[in-house]
Amino acid sequence: MSWLTRFVNAMNPDRARRELEEELNSHIEEAVRHGRSPDEARRAFGAALRHQDESSDVRILPWLESLVSDIRFGLRQLAKRRGVSAAAILSLALAAGAVTGVFRLVEAIILRPLPINSPEKLHYAEIWARDREGKPSVQDDFDYPHFQRYRDLLKTQADLLLLAYSARQELILPGAEQPERFHRQYVSGNVFPIFGLKPAAGRLLTPEDDIKPGGHPVAVISHHYWTRRFGRDPAAIGKTFRYGKHVYEIVGVAPEGFVGTEPGVMADAFLPSVMNVDALDKPGWSWFRIWIRPKADVSVSTIKQRLQASLTNERREQLKDWIAGTSKERIDAHLSARVQLLPAAAGVSDLQRRFRRPLLILGILAALVLLIACANVANLRAAQNMSRARELAVRASIGAGRGRLVQLALVESALIAILASVIGTVFAWFSVPYVVSLLTPEENPVLLVLDADWSLLAFVSTLALVITFLFGFAPAVRASSLQPANVLKGGEDPRSHQRFINSLLGVQVAFCMTVLFVAGLLVSSFARLVHQPLGFVADNLLVISTETPRKTAGDSWTQSARQLRQFAGVESSAVSGWALMSGNRWTVAVRNNGIVSEVSPVALDISPGFFATMRIPFLGGRDFRPGDRQPNLDEDQRPTPGTAIVNEALARMWFKGDSPVGKSLEVYVSKDLVATVEIVGYVGDARYRNLRDPIYPTLYVPFEDRGNASFLLRSQPGRPLDPSYLRSEIPRVLPGSRVRNVLSQTALVNQHSIRERLLATLAVFFTAVALILAGMGLYGVLTYSVIRRRREIGIRMALGARSQDVVCRVALQVALPLLLGSLTGIAGGLAIERPIRALLFETKGAEAGMLVLPALALLLVAVAAALPPVTQAARVDPARTLRAD
C-alpha cells in the first residue's frame, strides 16, 4: 500500500472503514450463498469490531489520524471564540505584514545594491558645511568645471563618473503627435564600462561618446523603456528622436534590471554628458553627482584628502572676490566645507536621503506593534489553555500522553500562524505600493523595483510561525505539565502564572504607549506644518512652465498672460520667473544706508497682475505697470535704477515696519556695483520656498527678457482648466513657445509635506493596531482572571461583598501593570523623540498635550476592554457558581 493511499485513508477514515465493512459483508453473503447459515457466518467473524480495528489500523496510520482530528478540533475551537480568534489572527497578520512591508521598502530604497560589478567599490561625493548660523548644509551636486578639475586631479588614482539627476522631460518621438514623458540621465562615457554592464541589444555608451560637446547625439535606452515603448522590437535601435536642440539616435539597450542609479526614479534613456552643451561651461550650474571608484591599491581616504585640499584652496581663492566687509561668520562658514565620500552601492537619490530616517522610524513602530502582537498571542494562548485546563486534565487522565497534548496545542498555534501568514502576505502585497504612492505627488510618481513574489510570503510566514511557536509554545508546554488530579479537584493554579500574564500585559501597554506617543508627535507635527499660512491662495491655480528657444521680451510674456485671461474659465492670470514653492530661489545682495545687509532677500520677477492672481494682499503703494524696470547694468556696465515691490518681512527688517513705499534700497547688480531701487508697492508676506523656513524678506521686480517662465492661471472655482488645451493654445498666444509642464499650485505646496504626511498617515495606522492589540490583551487577561476566580468571587458575594467591591478587586489587579506600563512607554517615547527631532515641526515631546492625549486614548481603550469581563464578574451568581463544582 503506498504512502499516498495511506494518506488518503487517513484523510478519510470513514471511507476506509466502510470499504472494509463492505468487504466483510460480501464475504458473509458469499458464505450464505454457498450454504452456510447467516448466523453462523456472522459469528465466525467473532468480534467484528476487533477485526475491523485490527484491519483498519493496518490500513491507516494512527498518528496521522490523530493529527487530522487535532486540526479539526483546533478549527472548531477557533470558530467557537470567533471574536477573540479573529482579533488575534488579524492583529498578528497586520503586524507581520506591516513589518514585512517596511522591510521591503527599506530594502528597495536603501539597501539593495545596484545590479552592477562591485558596487561596494563605488562612492559618491558630498560637501558638508555649516552656514553662518551653524546649521549644517549638505551639497551633493556639482558643475562641469569642477568635474573636469577633479577628474584631472585624480587621473591616476581613481575613475570619476558623472551621473546626472534623472529629470522628467518631454520629447516627441517621430510619428507621435503628443509629446510623451520620459526620464533622461546624462552619464559620462566611462559609466557603462566601469559598471561592467553588457547591452541587451546594440551597444552601450563608451568614453569615445563623451568627448566633443554636442558632438555625440547617441542614446542608450533602458530595457524597461524598450519593453514599454517599443515592445522589445530590435528595430528600435537606429530610431531617432528630437530632444532639446539635438536629434538623437538610439544605439543600444541597457541590460534588464538596470534602471539608473537613483532609487525611486527609473531612467528611460542615458545620454552622454557632453550633450548637455549649455551647462558644460557654466560654473554654478550644477546638475549631477560625482561618483568615484578608486583604482586598485588606492585607499578612499587618500582620494578624500586630495579632494579636500583642492576644495579648501578653491574656497580661499573665492574669498578674494567677496564683497569687502563680509562678516567673519560668513567667511568661516564658507571655509568649513569638508569633502565626504559615502558608499554608493545601493545608488543615491533624494528619495533615499529624505526618507532614510522616516523609514527607520516606521520600522521601529512596526517592530513595536509586532512585539505587542507577540505578547498578545502568548497571553491568549495562556489564557485559553488555563480556561480549558479542566478539559485538558480530563484528556490527560484518560490516557492522552503529554506528547499528544503538546501536539494539540502546537496544532492550534500553527493554525493561527498559517491563517495570519496568508492575511499578512495579502496585506503586505497591497500596502507597500500604497505607501510608495504616498511618497511623491502623482505628478512625479516614485518608481521602485519591488520584487514580486514568494519571498514576501516566505518572510511573512516565517515571522508569523516564529512568533506563534515562540509565544504559543511556552504556554502549551506549561499547560501539558499540569497535574490532572490537581486541576480536576479545582485546585488553585500557581500564582506565578498570573504574574506572568500580568507582566506581559504591562509590557504590551508599554509598547502601546510608546507607539501612541511617537504617533502623537508625528501627527501633530504634520498638522502644524500644513496649517502654516501660505500668504497666498493655492486652490484653483495652475502653473504652466513654458520655454522659448531664445530669450523673449518681457512685454511679450506679459502680453501673452493678458491674452490668456480671455480664455473661458480663467479668472485672472500673470507670469513670473517661476512659481512660489517650486523650489527655485534667487537671492540678491542688498545695501541699505551704506551697510551691506547680513541677510539677503530673495527676489522674483513678476508681471503686473501677479498679486491679484496669487491673492496676495496689497498693503500700500501700487502694482507694476509698463515702464517699470529691473535694476541692471547697461551696455557700458553702468548700473541703471529700477523699481521693486517688497513684502512685510523686508519692511520689518529694514524699515522698522513702517510703510516702505517711496523709500529705496541699493541692490548689487555685479560684484561691486549697486543700483538704486525705488520701492513702489508693499504686499503681505507669502511663502517663497518651503513650509519649514520662516518667511523670507522678498523683493519683487518687474518681468524682463527671459527664455523660460511660468504662467499662473487662476480658474473659477468648479471649472477646472484643461491642461492639454492649454498646451496647444499657449504656443499660439506666444509664438515659438513650448509648454514644459502643467502643475497645480496645490501640488507644488504639498510636495513640501510629503514626508510628514507619510509619517502621520502610517503612524495613525500603527496606533490603531497597537490600541486594538493592547485592548485585546487587557480583555483577555481580565476575562481569564474572572473565569479563574469565579468560585472565589462567588464565595465573597455569598459572604456579603457588594458588586462594587468585586469589580474593584478585579480591576485593581491590572491597575499596576497598566500604570507601570504606561510610564515605561512614555519614557521610551521620550527616548525616541530625540533622534527624530529633525523630522518634527514645532512639536516637543515634553508638552502637556503630547503626554495627556495618548494617556487618555489608552485609558479609553482600557475601559472599553475591561467592561465586558468586569460586568461579568459583577453578575456572578454565587449560588450557581458554588453549586457547579
Which residues of the shown chain bind other proteins in the complex (CB under 8 A)? 1, 19, 22-24, 26-27, 29-31, 34, 44-47, 50-51, 54-55, 58-59
In whole angstroms, the minimum distance from the beta carbon of 48 to other proteins comes to: 9
In whole angstroms, the minimum distance from the beta carbon of 98 to other proteins comes to: 50
In whole angstroms, the minimum distance from the beta carbon of 45 to other proteins comes to: 5
Closer residue to other proteins in complex, CB, 44/827: 44
Phi, psi of 346, deg, nearest 5 = -100, 20
In whole angstroms, the minimum distance from the beta carbon of 25 to other proteins comes to: 9
In whole angstroms, the minimum distance from the beta carbon of 35 to other proteins comes to: 11
Please tell me the distance from the alpha carbon of residue 517 to that of residue 847, in angstroms, as a whole number. Answer: 11
In whole angstroms, the minimum distance from the beta carbon of 71 to other proteins comes to: 25
DSSP for 526-552 reads HHHHHTS--SS--TTEEEEEEEEEEEE
User: Which DSSP state fits 234?
Assistant: G
Closer residue to other proteins in complex, CB, 54/281: 54
| Of the candidates 538, 129, 522, the residue with the CA atom closest to the CA atom of residue 332 | 129
Please tell me the distance from the alpha carbon of residue 376 to that of residue 374, in angstroms, as a whole number. Answer: 5
Question: Distance of alpha carbon 205 from its chain centroid, rounded?
Answer: 34
Which set of grid coordinates corresponds to residue 610?
Answer: 501677479
Element (H, E) at 664: strand 664-668
Closer residue to other proteins in complex, CB, 21/492: 21
Which set of grid coordinates corresponds to residue 456?
Answer: 514576501
Please tell me the distance from the alpha carbon of residue 284 to that of residue 305, in angstroms, as a whole number. Answer: 23
In whole angstroms, the minimum distance from the beta carbon of 434 to other proteins comes to: 55
Element (H, E) at 572: strand 570-576
Closer residue to other proteins in complex, CB, 43/295: 43
Q: What angle do CA 50, 54, 55 make, to 5 degrees?
A: 115
User: Which DSSP state fits 254?
Assistant: P
3-state SS assignment for residue 324 = coil
Closer residue to other proteins in complex, CB, 50/732: 50
Please tell me the distance from the alpha carbon of residue 706 to that of residue 703, in angstroms, as a whole number. Answer: 8
**What string of H, E and C letters represents the secondary structure of 129-167?**
EECCCCCEEEECCEEHHHHHHHHHHCCCCEEEEEEECCE
Sign for the CA dihedral angle at 190, 194, 200, 202 comes to positive
In whole angstroms, the minimum distance from the beta carbon of 14 to other proteins comes to: 17
Element (H, E) at 362: helix 350-387
Crossing angle (nearest 10°) for helices 300-319 and 328-335: 150
Closer residue to other proteins in complex, CB, 14/208: 14
Closer residue to other proteins in complex, CB, 1/848: 1
In whole angstroms, the minimum distance from the beta carbon of 5 to other proteins comes to: 9
In whole angstroms, the minimum distance from the beta carbon of 30 to other proteins comes to: 4
Closer residue to other proteins in complex, CB, 1/838: 1
Burial of 325 (0-12, 13-18, 19+ CB in 10 A): exposed
**Strand locations in 155-304 (E):** 158-164, 167-171, 180-187, 201-202, 218-221, 240-243, 246-253, 269-272, 286-294
In whole angstroms, the minimum distance from the beta carbon of 52 to other proteins comes to: 9
Which set of grid coordinates corresponds to residue 354?
Answer: 529624505
The residues, any chain, with a CB within 8 Å of residue 483's CB and separated by 6 or more, are none
In whole angstroms, the minimum distance from the beta carbon of 10 to other proteins comes to: 14
In whole angstroms, the minimum distance from the beta carbon of 814 to other proteins comes to: 57
Contact 613, 572 (CB under 8 A): yes
Closer residue to other proteins in complex, CB, 17/338: 17
User: Which DSSP state fits 300?
Assistant: H
Closer residue to other proteins in complex, CB, 6/738: 6
Alpha helix stretches (DSSP H) within 177-241? 191-195, 223-230
Please tell me the distance from the alpha carbon of residue 777 to that of residue 348, in angstroms, as a whole number. Answer: 43
| Of the candidates 358, 357, 356, 337, the residue with the CA atom closest to the CA atom of residue 140 | 337
In whole angstroms, the minimum distance from the beta carbon of 459 to other proteins comes to: 42
In whole angstroms, the minimum distance from the beta carbon of 38 to other proteins comes to: 14
Q: How far apart are the first and last CA of the chain?
A: 51
β-bridge pairing 674-683 and 642-647: parallel
In whole angstroms, the minimum distance from the beta carbon of 67 to other proteins comes to: 20
Contact 590, 599 (CB under 8 A): no
The residues, any chain, with a CB within 8 Å of residue 511's CB and separated by 6 or more, are 368, 369, 371, 372, 375, 770, 825, 828
Closer residue to other proteins in complex, CB, 55/312: 55
Closer residue to other proteins in complex, CB, 9/560: 9
Closer residue to other proteins in complex, CB, 50/232: 50
In whole angstroms, the minimum distance from the beta carbon of 40 to other proteins comes to: 11
Closer residue to other proteins in complex, CB, 27/499: 27
Closer residue to other proteins in complex, CB, 50/499: 50
Which set of grid coordinates corresponds to residue 681?
Answer: 508697492
Closer residue to other proteins in complex, CB, 47/452: 47
Sign for the CA dihedral angle at 639, 645, 650, 654 comes to positive
Please tell me the distance from the alpha carbon of residue 370 to that of residue 507, in angstroms, as a whole number. Answer: 12
Place of cell 453549586: 883
Closer residue to other proteins in complex, CB, 15/242: 15
In whole angstroms, the minimum distance from the beta carbon of 58 to other proteins comes to: 5
The residues, any chain, with a CB within 8 Å of residue 375's CB and separated by 6 or more, are 471, 504, 505, 507, 508, 511, 777
Sign for the CA dihedral angle at 429, 432, 435, 440 comes to negative
Closer residue to other proteins in complex, CB, 25/299: 25
Q: What is the dihedral of CA 670, 675, 680, 681, to 10 degrees?
A: 30
